[in-house]
Amino acid sequence: MAARAYWQGQIRLALVSIPVEIYSASKTGAKISFNQIHEPSGKRIKYEKVVPGIGPVDRDEIIKGYEVSKGEYVLLEEEEIEAVKIESRKTLELVQFVDTCEIDPLYFEKPYYVAPKDDLAEEAFIVLREALRKAGKVALGQLSVRGSEKLVAIKPCGKGLLLETLRYADEVRKGQAFFSDIDNAKPKKELLDLATTLIEQKSAPFDASEFEDRYVDALRKLIDKKAKSKSNKAIIEDAGDAEASGGNVIDLMAALKKSVDDKTNKPKAAKRKKIA
């Protein structure tokens, strides 16, 4: 089944318009989700909308409310919310260009692939892609989707373009509040040299296929096993001994030296849980 476009429209650079299609670059099917089941009957649990002290309510009695203080809400009708929605536009205007390294990774949210819509759009698409590549820049714009506006960044990606939605400034927490109590002292040179050597030993080109989500793999095996057995008995398997955590007091110098001297200490020696 062909992938469905997330957005169709045109990218505009000054007076040049390029018809494009945007597709999600991530898959949700790899994740495992559960439903809640009533064990005695085997039926799925459904939820009713209830008001404390009143009980279940009809859907047409429900409106949206924004809490301005504890227990105090501003009530909004659907018509009022619809009235302030951004008009869906089929044009993504590139309004600014920044250096590739200028955007803090904290702002990146979700990736999408951008491809020319047809053969006629291909020449202008390639020109934009190569111009961004040559300049080492990322294009910024705001994409109107389903009544809201998303800040986006566009950069070259192989033969195509990669669009990434960005968080707005008020959606990002600044790290200073969490780091303020950390000591400003510089580490000892010997410790720093050992840690640097260890990092160099474990350095390698990034390859996402080298990382596996062991929890999801184990869940899939468990689900397959229970589906084949058609049994409701719990299957508990020993995952093996947990890694020794050691004492609370660690000889950092000795630990680093031992790590550096470890001959198995190679980048692909062990699988690590994939970061979502």
Segment holding 197, helix H or strand E:
helix 189-201
Tokens for 276? Answer: 């979502």
The one-letter amino acid code at 263 reads K
Tokens for 41? Answer: 């009957």
d(CA 163, CA 25): 9
**Lowest mean pLDDT segment, chosen from 8-12, 49-53, 204-208:** 204-208
The answer to whether 141 and 93 are in contact (CB under 8 A) is: yes
Question: Which regions of the chain carry the CATH code 2.40.290.10?
Answer: 7-27+85-171
d(CA 85, CA 148): 6
Domain 7-27+85-171 CATH class label? mainly beta
Tokens for 273? Answer: 């849980």
For residue range 56-92, list pLDDT tens digits in order: 898 888 989 989 888 899 988 888 887 776 666 788 9
Give the pLDDT of residue 240.
Answer: 53
Residue 270 has pLDDT above 60, yes or no: no
Under DSSP, the state recorded for 2 is P
Write the DSSP assignment of 40-87 as a string of letters: TTTEEP----EETTTEE--GGG--EEEEEETTEEEEE-HHHHHHHSPP
Could you tell me the pTM of the whole model?
0.71
For residue range 116-165, list pLDDT tens digits in order: 999 999 999 999 999 999 999 999 999 988 778 899 999 999 999 999 99
For residue range 194-222, list pLDDT tens digits in order: 899 988 888 888 888 887 878 788 888 88
